[in-house]
Amino acid sequence: MALFQPHNVLVTGGAGFIGANFIPSFLSGRPEARVVNLDALTYAGQLENLEGLPDPDRHQFVHGDICDRALVDSLLRKHEIDTVVHFAAESHVDRSISGPAAFVQTNLVGTFTLLEAARQYWREERKLGPEACRFHHISTDEVYGTLGPDDPPFTETTPYAPNSPYSASKAGSDHLVRAYYHTYGLPVTTSNCSNNYGPRQNWEKFIPAIIRACVEGRPIPVYGDGSNIRDWLYVDDHCRGIEAVIRGGRLGESYNIGGRNEWSNISIARLICRRMDERRPAAAPHERLITFVTDRPGHDWRYAIDGQKIETELGWQPQESFETGMDLTLDWYLRPLQ
């Protein structure tokens, strides 16, 4: 099967963490492609994330909301978009507990808006076949719910069982994407990733928050007893996986992208403290800053991804171990502070 060739690409949420890492990677590898980047610039999206892009003339930033149908329609037509890479989402579980409405609006209504606009433009107006366009939806392993200590990792056939407003809204958006393939023939693919880490992540997320606490000498908050387990994936590895699915993934299919890299929260906090001790020995031991705090409601205990499908079908493998990826992450966050 010939690989799909994206040319004019609409990236939603491209000023956020994963999107802002995907765009330079994509532009570097696809010299013929152009990117239109639609981002609402909420707390998680920063224009600074887009500094230093390769060949910036092939990137156009548009400040706007994915729920704005007129704007989405105009971008698809003006730039003759043939590929949508949909990152834009409200993604912080704690925020979804205190304010779920924004998650329903962005993650469900926003995804619906993009799907409808793409269906109208590609299928009804331009009569494009599946070889000529692609809608790729980025989702999360949290839609599968939680695992026990001896449960096998999530696969693409694991039943959905979301436990937070965030994961429920992402599960709903996944189902919409699937429905547009089966009902309308929209050429879609979906990827469900494990926890990402790396440069450009918002400071409120777990790993950047630990780094900042170490730098500032403040308590490092760890939920419960710190035993919650996540599978961690370096963001550049995730970006390579996304592109592999866009170009070679089977239409209508979902692909789990994970690191085969399970760590408990307390183990991560201690690893970062050890790395900070090496970099800033005068403030050692940083582990003294670890503080256990009241667990959050509905806190899933364990996530783990089985990546066999993407590894077998598309030949993707993570390149960074957690230790090497963590060093790259620490170097990036600490460089401005040296």
Neighbour tally for 195: CB within 10 Å: 22
Cα–Cα distances (Å) from 35 to 22, 69, 90, 109, in that order, read: 11, 19, 22, 23
Catalytic residue check, 68: no
Among the listed residues 91, 129, 135, 134, the one whose alpha carbon sits nearest the alpha carbon of residue 111: 135
Active-site pick, 90, 142, 300, 306? 142
Q: What is the spatial distance between Cα 287 and Cα 212, in angstroms, rounded to a whole number?
A: 13
Between the two ends of the chain, the Cα-to-Cα distance in Å is 49
Measured CA to CA, the distance from residue 82 to residue 220 in angstroms comes to 45
User: Which residue is catalytic, options 121, 166, 197, 303?
Assistant: 166
306 counts as catalytic:
no
The dihedral built from the CA positions of residue 203, 209, 210 and 214, taken in this order, carries a sign that is positive
SS3 32: coil
Q: Of 141, 174, 236, 306, which is the active-site residue?
A: 141
184 is catalytic: no
* DSSP type of residue 131: T
- 261 SS3 class: coil
Q: Which residues of 278-310 are buried (b: 16+ CB within 10 A; e: fewer)?
A: ebeeeeeebeebbeeeeeeeeebebbbbbbebb
Active site residues: 141-142, 166
